A and B are shown apart, each in its own frame.
Chain A
Amino acid sequence: MAEIQQSGGGNDGKKRAKKQSTRVDMTPLVDLAFLLLTFFVLTSTFSKPKVLRMIFPEKLEKDNPNVKPPEIKDGLTILLTANDNIFYYVGALNKETEVIRTDYTKNGFRKLLIEKNAPLIDKLKKLQLELADAKEGDTATRNRIERQAKDEQMKSKLVVLVKHDKDATYENIIDVVDEFLITQVAKYFVVDPGLDPIEAAKIQEQLSN
């Protein structure tokens, strides 16, 4: 059955190899290869998502009398409301506080932050230059500069509070925090309680204008 076919009898037993093409039809193979290729190209995702780190303080006991809400003297307070509206005011809140409207563009909110945070941005820039000058192997200097940068961030005077009403979206907060990262604001807090009645009234005033 599984005999190899001998050359068809006779001719003094002289074997003559049949000339046969060694080519294999590769078309099905190629079809398959490209099918797989297309599949993997289409299913694979290259851009891995990135993460934005946020740290929240530990939950405070509500009845703890020793914990007072922080008083804001010259901080910046940002108010996020429905329809991507964004407002801010400087300093403490009272009847005379001026609530100003801004927007998420780079000439709006970012410009404001850059102005407010200019001292820290300058210092960090200087340190960055120093770091660039430092030699690759000089870890002592590098560490010192990095420590200095951290110190400057700790000492930063600018404190930004982010407040929001119930209509602010997740995207709003992420955008705002992202702006803080861009403008290197070192101290910012997203606070739980909603808007103060005075703030809400002032926003209404702004919106109706």
Chain B
Amino acid sequence: MPKVNMPRSTPALDMTPMVDLAFLLVTFFMLTSSFRAPEPIILDTPTSTTEQQIPKQVFLVMIDEEGRAFVDITNAAVKSKVLKKMMSQFKSGGLSDEDINKFAGVGPVGLRMAEIPTFMELESTERTAYEQRVIPYDTAASKIKNSELYYWAYFTKIEAHNDYKEREEEAKLRNMEFDKSNYIQFSIKAARNAKWDKIQYIIDVFREAKVKEFQMITGLENAPES
């Protein structure tokens, strides 16, 4: 019987191409993924057949099933300016400039103005556990203009306009083409089974702030064949 020669050393496999590929993919996913700020609530949005992409910069209002509102502004500079205005409007002090800048990165929040200083003192890990209640809004016609939600929308509208003008001038100064798509747009992200009445209330609050156009954020659904 012939003797089978067993290899003495462990079989070596050239892993270089595999590593190359793995790192290529890692690089790709690292560069393409963008991290979202943690959201205080998870919403199941309805679907629609529109192909329109979500605008680059949004003032986002999230509305859950019970009609609680959370807001976020994706433009950090505008967000901190709006927060400053909100603080002087509601006379709630106690936030350092650093806190204000930090607040811009926190993501959507559902906090009363009075709660924000306490919230910002927490460590970022503690913040997720903090029970966020709601941005107060009142739907009685006479009181709309006292509500915090109204001012969030109102100040954002002003700051968005200022921001737009600033960038337009800067582009003109540098003789560059001006990218108009960065204008902050108002979008609503609501739960599928939220009552339309609640959303109508919130839209009414915004209409009071002279915001007329909304982007309803929806999931994608296949368009029917014509």
Please tell me which stretch of A5-13, A88-96, A151-159, A172-180 contacts chain B, meaning at least 4 of its Cβ atoms lie within 8 angstroms of it.
A172-180
Q: Is the Cβ of A50 less than 8 Å from the Cβ of B55?
A: no
Number of B interface residues in the complex (CB < 8 A): 55
Residues of A within 8 A of B218 (CB): 49-52, 174
Q: How far is the CB of A122 from chain B (nearest CB, A)?
A: 13
Residues of B within 8 A of A173 (CB): 196, 199
Q: Is the Cβ of B22 less than 8 Å from the Cβ of A48?
A: no
User: CA A58 – CA B48 in complex, angstroms?
Assistant: 25
Q: How far is the CB of B212 from chain A (nearest CB, A)?
A: 6
Number of A interface residues in the complex (CB < 8 A): 47
**Given the contacts A33-B23, A40-B30, A52 and B195 also touching, CB distance less than 8 Å:** no
Within 8 A of B (CB), among A50-83: 50-59, 62, 80
Residues of B within 8 A of A175 (CB): 46, 48
Q: Is A134 interfacial (CB 8 A cutoff)?
A: no
Q: Is B94 interfacial (CB 8 A cutoff)?
A: no
Q: Is the Cβ of B54 less than 8 Å from the Cβ of A50?
A: yes
Q: Which residue of B lies closest to A46 (CB)?
A: B32
Q: Is the Cβ of B141 less than 8 Å from the Cβ of A62?
A: yes
Residues of A within 8 A of B200 (CB): 192
Option from B33, B190, B192, B214 in Cβ contact (under 8 Å) with A56: B214
Q: Is A16 interfacial (CB 8 A cutoff)?
A: no
Residues of B within 8 A of A110 (CB): 224
User: CA A34 – CA B52 in complex, angstroms?
Assistant: 35
User: CA A68 – CA B118 in complex, angstroms?
Assistant: 49
User: CA A174 – CA B204 in complex, angstroms?
Assistant: 17
Q: Is A168 interfacial (CB 8 A cutoff)?
A: yes
Residues of B within 8 A of A48 (CB): 53-54
Q: Which residue of A lies closest to B51 (CB)?
A: A50
Q: Is B194 interfacial (CB 8 A cutoff)?
A: yes
Q: Is A19 interfacial (CB 8 A cutoff)?
A: no
Option from B29, B190, B217 in Cβ contact (under 8 Å) with A49: B217
Option from A26, A50, A164 in Cβ contact (under 8 Å) with B196: A164
Q: Is the Cβ of A26 less than 8 Å from the Cβ of B219?
A: no
Option from A44, A56, A106, A166 in Cβ contact (under 8 Å) with B197: A166
Please tell me which stretch of B13-21, B71-79, B83-91, B126-134 contacts chain A, meaning at least 4 of its Cβ atoms lie within 8 angstroms of it.
B13-21
Q: Is the Cβ of B33 less than 8 Å from the Cβ of A40?
A: yes
Q: Is B220 interfacial (CB 8 A cutoff)?
A: yes
Q: Is the Cβ of A169 less than 8 Å from the Cβ of B196?
A: yes
Q: Is B162 interfacial (CB 8 A cutoff)?
A: no
Residues of B within 8 A of A164 (CB): 196-197
Q: Is the Cβ of B33 less than 8 Å from the Cβ of A43?
A: yes
Q: Is the Cβ of A50 less than 8 Å from the Cβ of B48?
A: yes
Selected A-B contacts with CB under 8 Å, 19 pairs: A30-B15, A30-B19, A34-B22, A36-B26, A36-B30, A43-B33, A49-B54, A50-B51, A52-B215, A53-B214, A55-B213, A56-B207, A169-B194, A170-B63, A170-B191, A175-B46, A175-B48, A177-B48, A181-B49
Partner-A contacts on B (CB < 8 A): 12, 15-16, 18-19, 22-23, 25-26, 29-30, 32-33, 35, 45-46, 48-55, 63, 141, 187, 189-197, 199-200, 203-204, 207-208, 210, 212-221, 223-224
Q: A51-B52, A169-B196 are in contact. List 17 more A-B contacts (CB 8 A).
A: A26-B16, A30-B15, A30-B18, A33-B19, A33-B26, A40-B33, A43-B33, A47-B220, A49-B220, A50-B217, A50-B218, A55-B214, A58-B212, A170-B196, A173-B196, A173-B199, A178-B221
